[in-house]
Amino acid sequence: MSLDISKITSPQLLLDKNICKRNIERMREKAFSKNLKLFPHFKTHQSWEVGKWCLDSGIDGIAVSSLKMAKYFAEAGGYTDITVSFPVNIREIDLINELAKKTNLTLLVNEEYSAKVLAHKLQSPVSIFIEVDSTYHRSGLGSEQTVKIEQILQSIESAAKMKFRGFYIHPGDSYHAPTIQEKAVIHNAALETLKWMKSKYGNDMTECRLGDTPNCSLMENFDGVDSIGPGNYVFYDYVQTQIGSCGVGDIAVCLATPVVSFNRNRNEVIVHGGAVHLSKDFLINEQGQKSFGLVVQIHENGWSSPISGTFVKSVSQEHGIIEMDNSLIDTLQPGDLLGILPVHSCLTADAMKQYRCLDGKIADHLEGQMSF
């Protein structure tokens, strides 16, 4: 069944199921070949439908970025091992207890105080990762913070309802490294940090997990790593093409936007598709200009390759302004559709809150509040 373009009357996020499933399978095969357990980070798609494609491929352990998301996928069913890959928020202890009763829940603990609160208030068993940091410097403990690490470990070990699982690291600065060589430096630093932490504080049962999409996509050495948790690989996006994680043909989502007006004296097309749909993430293109997305043509089988020399030059709340050669503008009329390959698919998906698959079916999103 082909896409019924006539039903697209406002901005909609299109999802190519075949590309998405291919991306899912490629990462699953890579993890299997490296003897790694794959815990895909569902913060990218936040969709039971997409999650089911992972489940169908044999993946039953996942990562999420919030307890709300953990609850959504726990209620959807099928997932036996859920990690909240975000430092635990102890104000949500009631929800933690609710989830721990019905799923194997793993939390990230970076603070001794948080560990002590959990030890006092947990009603059901949970597993604990200590988040560590090597070069990203967002959250997590540096290997030099030995006193703090030991205090957290002592709090975990003395608690009846907590079990130490291992160490987790997200080397997210790989997104900002333009070359494979620079990514390799970041990746290897993360590997060495995990190895050191395990040798000092762990044993054969201690799990070491690494979770960033660029290096999980590109690197081949995962020595010392037991599991990986990439997320953006299911969709990929414009950023990932620019840093070498994928090709344009691997991008599985596209924002369909109606053309509403033209400024031919400025070589501009105005579309209904702005910051509330795409987010305000941008890249600097080869011409040194801000680009808020690559522009493609929408057709019944999906979308074309990017239109040469054409990009989203600015966004406001609802407006998107596309720079395009006038010879191409002359082929358009108000009401035609143009597609935008997003800079950051996670943010675009979160903004749009649902997907239209190319067969016309609507796929859910957590924030669309589909009930099970």
CA angle 212, 214, 218 (to 5 degrees): 120
d(CA 118, CA 136): 27
Token pair belonging to 237 = 């996006």
Mean pLDDT over 66-86 rounds to 94
What's the pTM?
A: 0.95
HSE toward the beta carbon, residue 253, CA cutoff 13 A: 33
By the 8 A CB rule, do 117 and 94 touch?
no
Q: What whole-number distance in Å separates Cα of residue 315 and Cα of residue 321?
A: 6
Which whole-number Å values give the CA distances from 141 to 117, 129, 169, 183, 189, in the listed order?
Answer: 19, 12, 9, 21, 14
Residue 130 CB neighbours (<10 A): 23
Q: What DSSP assignment string belongs to 138-179?
A: SSSEETT-HHHHHHHHHHHHT-TTEEEEEEEE--GGGGG--S
Overall residue count recorded for the chain in this entry: 372
Please state, in angstroms and rounded to a whole number, the distance separating the CA atoms of residues 338 and 260: 11
Distance CA 275, CA 271 (A): 12
What whole-number distance in Å separates Cα of residue 359 and Cα of residue 1? 5
User: Confidence class of residue 1 from pLDDT cuts 50, 70 and 90?
Assistant: low
User: What per-residue confidence (pLDDT) applies to 372?
Assistant: 35
Q: In the predicted model, what is the mean pLDDT of the chain? A: 95
Contact 165, 85 (CB under 8 A): no
**pLDDT of 370 strictly over 90:** no
- Rounded Cα distance, 350 and 329, in Å: 30
φ and ψ of 274, to 5 deg:
-120, -150
CA angle 166, 172, 175 (to 5 degrees): 150
pLDDT exceeds 80 at position 371? no
Tens-place pLDDT, residues 275-295: 999 999 999 998 899 999 999
- What is the average per-residue pLDDT within 140-145? 95
Instruction: Say how far apart CA 249 and CA 314 lie, in whole Å.
Output: 24
- Average pLDDT for 334-352: 97
Rounded to whole angstroms, the Cα distance separating 232 from 347 reads 11
